[in-house]
Structure formats: structure tokens, C-alpha cells
Structure 1
């Protein structure tokens, strides 16, 4: 039977490998977001564009630090220190609380709270800007933040261990509260979108409303993958299993990817906004907005307006011979 150290090393390697793939996904989404923010015809206000640009950039920087820290730590452990006295076990025992490893853990905590804050705001918007909906989630958010600070302090002290000792006594309730918060918010958003989706589908028809009511929309808006992987991480972490590091690495990257996906949907005009929620709640009749004249062959997108607001408006796609461009 494999030793605990061997399982830990395998889990860490798998987690790092998956992290590299997810980092590439984040880079693609980041540049798509920047392209959408600064392209002509972007519907967001200058203030919103500035916020989303800063938010996305900070997330990417934090994720980059986390990736770099893990890469350096693993290189020193598996390559530089393999022939040192004690080898890998000695390195893990003495360097698990090294300052840059604590810095990497701090960046993950920062991404968690940035992502959770955005998720709470989306919950607020999707429920029609009702403060009572986010009252309990905010309390859980603040409680988790307090536990996270204690966990980081204990893990960063000499001899501290992020995955063992006293740290796990605070880490377990911290991750339990955080992941439970994610699950609750995810369920609330899914239930709300399912209810509002019926009104939108009835008004627009299932095909035109799919942008707001599809499975992908619900998964992204509610950050469901983030919550599911969080559960997969919490169970082995609470049990003290060395496999927790693998799930933890993937979950840490989703703390960046999940909010970035939401930002990308908002930037591209595919997310549920205040206008869409208000119209779906009020049960208004959406009327088709005639498409403007254009040249070339176009694939027209149906748009529906009410009271000066537009639901599902997209630029028509123009085809000129073998090339495709936005009109």
C-alpha cells in the first residue's frame, strides 16, 4: 500500500498539472473579457468597464502568483532538495510554512473572497435588488473571512502546516462555511433563474430565450462547478487525507475562473441584468425591435424591448464572401 507521502506527492503533481490547464483557460477568458470591454459598441458604462478591467486583472495576477509559488516550491522539493539530507520528507517538514508558500495561500483566500463577493452581488441582482436575500449570506461571508485570517496566521508560523496541526481546526470550519455559502447561493440563483426563465421563455419563445435560460447560463451564473469541486475538496480535507491537495489545487483555480466567467457574460451582454430581471418579474410583453438595414448577407438576431431597455440585443453577424465580421 502506498505511503501517505507518496499519495501526497502524486496528488500534488496531479493538482499542479490540472492547475496549468486551468491557468491557460483563465488567460483565454481574461483576454476575451478585455477584448469585449474595449471593443466598439460595448454596452457597459465607463465606470463598469473600469471596474471589470481592474477586477479581472487582479484575479489574473493573484492566480499567477499562486501558480508561480506552487511551481517554485515543487521544483525545490523534487529537484533541488531530492539529494539533500532527509530528501523530500525533510523538505516538506521544514518548508511547508515558508513565506512564499504562505503568500500563495493568501492569494487563494483573496480570490475566494473576491469571487464570493461577486457571487453575492449577482444574487442581489437576480433577486431584484432585495437586501433581505443577502443578509444571511453576508454574515456567513464575514465569519468565513475571520476564520481565513486565523488559518493563514497559523499556517505561516514556524512549523505551521496548511494541511495539518492546529491549522486544520480552523481550516475545516472556514472551508465548511465558505463552501456551504457557495452551495446555498448556487441553489438560490438556480431556483430564481428557473422561475424567471419560465417568464422569459413564455414571452420570447424557448429558442430566443435560451441565452438566459439554458443549462450553461444557469451553471455559469450560479458558479455551480465552483461549489461542486469545493465539496470534493472539503471531504478529504476534513478527513486529513493527502488527496485533498489535488482537489484543493483545482478548487483554488476555480475561485478565479468562476467569477471570470460571470464577468465575461456580463461584458458580452449575456448575463442577467437589472433590466432583464425587472421585465421578467413584471411579466411585461416584449416586442420585437426591427433590425436596421445593412449590406451583405446577415444573420439577424431578434431583440426585444420594453420601456427603452433591450433584452438579448446582439450585433448582427455579417458574412462577406469567405470572411465573417460583426456589422
Structure 2
């Protein structure tokens, strides 16, 4: 039975009714929001933090979608390759390690957001307090572990690319390797502090761990990006002299250098560290998509490698020596020694004939 206070509108196959609260809301102007509906017991600071987390989740979702598209495109390119050597399996292993970790991380973000904003919306102090109280829940632990391991794998690629671009000069590696190891070491206590936010002993050190970790991350990426950009910029004229401006433009354009050096993530982490150092609530907007922007920049490099459009050791050597041993096209590079001569092609075509015709002599 429908209460008499409800406004009932009967239609042909159905009826709709509005509760009194909705009727009163319709009679008010949109700007006049009732402050009594505001969260109870939540400070303005926590509201800002929750709003930033909400925006961060939206950006993280978009970034994960872009990462998924890149991964699918990468798999398509790899499966279309005729030759599947060590580089093929290395790219498969690397990309297939990153994408599942990113998937686990975004799934944990979605599930814990559901727990915070839907299932426990009336938790005292709001979703932000719920996160601190239930940080040791297995959903959050899974997400934090995935988010910690992800950069360990992702940054290995940039160390490798730095080594290749600098033509295997060992003196270029000690500095970033030391920073990488330090970052890896500080990430472990940071992980423990993130999943034990109910323990005041760990909470008191969470801020210092976070500042140290993200500062090292920024330093690592700034160094790698700067050194790769410097190297590619200095080799631009050499490659143009060897291969010509048209072919060299596929390797020396500004966009190519920006992608090869991972410049997008370097800008992202730099902005985040600056905002965090000022204590601005906007930091959470940059923090939640942080993992997926890292994955996008690395996956773009891997995609270029799979398409044979990235800088390789042979190309770097050719530019350094001023001798082009590669035939460069607009889509990929092929070693000249792999191109058979006309005599070899004739022999190959002759052998490809049926056996009964191979003994025949062409006049």
C-alpha cells in the first residue's frame, strides 16, 4: 500500500511515485543546498582529502584504460613479428609483468573505494578515517604490494635504455643504480607503514618514508631523462649526416626524445613532490594515478622497441662511427647483411621449384 503523502502518477503499464523529501527538494532552487546533509563529524581537511582521492581515482581509471590499450597494441605487434628471439621474449616477460601488477592495483583501488564510500559510508570520520583504520585489510594490502613492486620492474627498463643509448658505457650506470637500490630499500618500510596506519609507531614515520621514497624516485627519473635527452640531442646531427634528415627524424624528433626518455612521468613525479612538500591536498590527485602514468611511459618505450622504432645499439654505433650499416625505413630497421643479393635470390627461387624442374636449365 502506498502512503497517501506520496505523489502517485499512474501510467499505462506502470506508475511512479515520489517520496515527500524528493518533493520538497524539487520545490527548492538548486543553489539552496541543505547543510544538514553534509557529513557529520568530518573536518574540512578530511573533506578536501576525500575529494582529492575521488578525483585521483577518476584519473587513475583513465590512466589504466590508456595502459590497457597500449598493452593490447603491444601484444598485437609482438605476435605479428616474424622473428622471435631473445628480445621478443624479453619484451613479453617485461610487459606481462607490468600489466598484471597494474591490474591488481586498480582492482584494489576500486574495491577499497567501494568499501569506503558505499559499504561503510557512515564510518566515524568518513572514508579517510576508514582507510587509516582498515589499511591492513587484505584488499588494501594487495594494492599496496602491487604498487610497491610495480616500480621495481618498471625502472629496470630505463636503466637498460640508458645503457643502450650511451653505447654500453659503464660509467653512466653507477649513479642511477645506487639511487634505484636506495629507492628499493626505502620502499619496504614505506610499504609496512602504509598497511599499518593503525600503529602510531609506523604512522609517525610514514611521512619521512614517503618524502624519502618519492624524492629518490624524482631524482632517479630526472637523471635518466636528462642523460637520455642529452645523448639523443648530441647524436642528432651525427645520425642526420649518416642517414639523412628524413630517416633521422624518426629517431631524433622532439616527441621521440620525450617518449624515449620517459619525460612524461618525470614531469608527473616532479609536480607531485613539489605539491607534497607544500602540504597541498592536491597531492592525492597526483598520487593515485602515479603508478599508471609510470606504466604508460614505460609501455610506450616498449612499444617502440617492439616496432623496431627505438634506438638500438647498432643504430647508436652507426651514429657514433659515422658508418651506416643499417637500411632504415619509415617503419623499421633491417640489417643490410640480411638483404640477399640477386644471385642468392635466383638460387633460392631455383631451389624452391619442384624437384623435377630443378634439373632443367633455363636458356
Q: TM-score range by the shorter chain?
A: 0.7 to 0.9
Give the equivalent residue in structure 2 for 1:144: 183
Summarize the Cα distance change of 1:287–1:48 in structure 2 as closer, same or farther, 3 Å threshold.
closer
Give 5+ residue unaligned stretches, structure 1: 290-299, 311-327
2:337 to 303, 308, 311: 308
Summarize the Cα distance change of 1:303–1:250 in structure 2 as closer, same or farther, 3 Å threshold.
closer
Give the equivalent residue in structure 2 for 1:284: 323
Q: Deviations over 1:86-142 (max 9, x none)?
A: 543541331234332232122122221212111011000000011111111101111
CA distance in 2 between counterparts of 1:216 and 1:309 reads 30
Kept in 2: contact 1:115–1:255 (CA 8 A): yes
Cα distance, 1:20 vs structure 2: 1.2
Give the equivalent residue in structure 2 for 1:317: none
CA distance in 2 between counterparts of 1:116 and 1:303 reads 25
Summarize the Cα distance change of 1:86–1:204 in structure 2 as closer, same or farther, 3 Å threshold.
closer
Cα distance, 1:221 vs structure 2: 0.7
Q: Which deviates more from structure 2 when the two are superposed, residues 62-71 or residues 234-243?
A: 234-243
Give the equivalent residue in structure 2 for 1:14: 55
Kept in 2: contact 1:108–1:255 (CA 8 A): no
Q: Which deviates more from structure 2 when the two are superposed, residues 234-243 or residues 22-31?
A: 234-243
Cα distance, 1:288 vs structure 2: 6.1
Kept in 2: contact 1:115–1:258 (CA 8 A): no
Summarize the Cα distance change of 1:156–1:141 in structure 2 as closer, same or farther, 3 Å threshold.
same
Give the equivalent residue in structure 2 for 1:41: 82
SS at match of 2:173: helix
1:71 to 99, 110, 116: 110
- Structure with bigger gyration radius: 2
Cα distance, 1:9 vs structure 2: 1.3
CA distance in 2 between counterparts of 1:277 and 1:63 reads 32
Give 5+ residue unaligned stretches, structure 2: 1-42, 340-363
SS at match of 1:271: coil
Kept in 1: contact 2:95–2:299 (CA 8 A): yes
CA distance in 1 between counterparts of 2:243 and 2:256 reads 16
2:192 to 138, 148, 153: 153
Cα distance, 1:18 vs structure 2: 1.1
2:234 to 179, 195, 199: 195
Give the equivalent residue in structure 2 for 1:53: 92
CA distance in 2 between counterparts of 1:166 and 1:68 reads 28
TM-score, normalised by the number of residues in structure 2: 0.75
Q: Deviations over 1:28-69 (max 9, x none)?
A: 111111111111435xx4222122112111211111111111
TM-score, normalised by the number of residues in structure 1: 0.83
